[in-house]
Structure 1
């Protein structure tokens, strides 16, 4: 009786790991940029404008976190 067996081995070289690290850092920086921009824009609104959006001033950081990180 004959058996055929194949094994796949993932070879993640240094280049692959560095590329993944760079991609991760870029993603983190982009998310942080979205967070800061959202906070900046919401802080520039008046209380009345925030109320029209259904946002209280104390909710700005939470809304920005949701916008940037999806939490």
Structure 2
């Protein structure tokens, strides 16, 4: 049970960090990475798996 909670917490932190970092980028920088601003949460969800 503890392992599951720890894993979920790590995933949540990865998601939050990824959203935060990508949100700080300019639209041009995101476009260079092939990411639209509206896709940030989707990309973060995939990164946190």
Q: If the length of structure 1 is used for normalisation, what is the TM-score?
A: 0.68
Q: Which runs of 5+ in 2 are unaligned?
A: none
Quick check: which has more Rg, 1 or 2? 1
Tell me the number of residue pairs that the alignment of Structure 1 and Structure 2 aligns: 49
Say what the alpha-carbon RMSD is for the aligned residues.
0.4
Query: Is 2:42 aligned against 1:62?
Result: yes
| Partner in structure 1 of residue 26 of structure 2 | 46
Q: If the length of structure 2 is used for normalisation, what is the TM-score?
A: 0.98
Higher RCO (C-alpha under 8 Å, 6+ residues apart): 2
For residue 68 of structure 1, report the CA deviation from its aligned partner: 0.2
The answer to which structure has the higher helix fraction is: 2
Q: Which runs of 5+ in 1 are unaligned?
A: 1-20
